[in-house]
Amino acid sequence: MAIADVAATGDRRKTLEAMRDKLALDMDAAPPAVVAQIAGRLSAVMEELDSLGSEKVSMLDELANRRQDRLTKAGVADTPTRSTGKRRTGSS
């Protein structure tokens, strides 16, 4: 997909990734006099990608990850998050 097509989606991360990939390809094929210019731009794009951080994680996934980290640090084995048995209703 062309960079213009990716940019048209409005997704900043994907656009920067497409630019990074294109610059890397161009750098491989560029004459030595131009490599430094491309390398500078590639470096800037990569820094901008790094500043975006990781992909968005849903709040539920983040909470699940935190819980799992706490359990791991506490040495607790993996346990199901919900009971598989039936709930008691108070009547027989």
CA distance linking residue 9 with residue 5, whole number of Å: 7
Beta-carbon neighbour count of residue 23 at 10 Å? 21
pLDDT of residue 1: 75
Domain residue spans of the chain: 3-73
CA angle 88, 90, 91 (to 5 degrees): 105
For 11-59, what is each residue's pLDDT tens digit?
Answer: 999 999 999 999 999 999 999 999 999 999 999 999 999 988 766 667 7
Is pTM beyond 0.75? Reply is: no
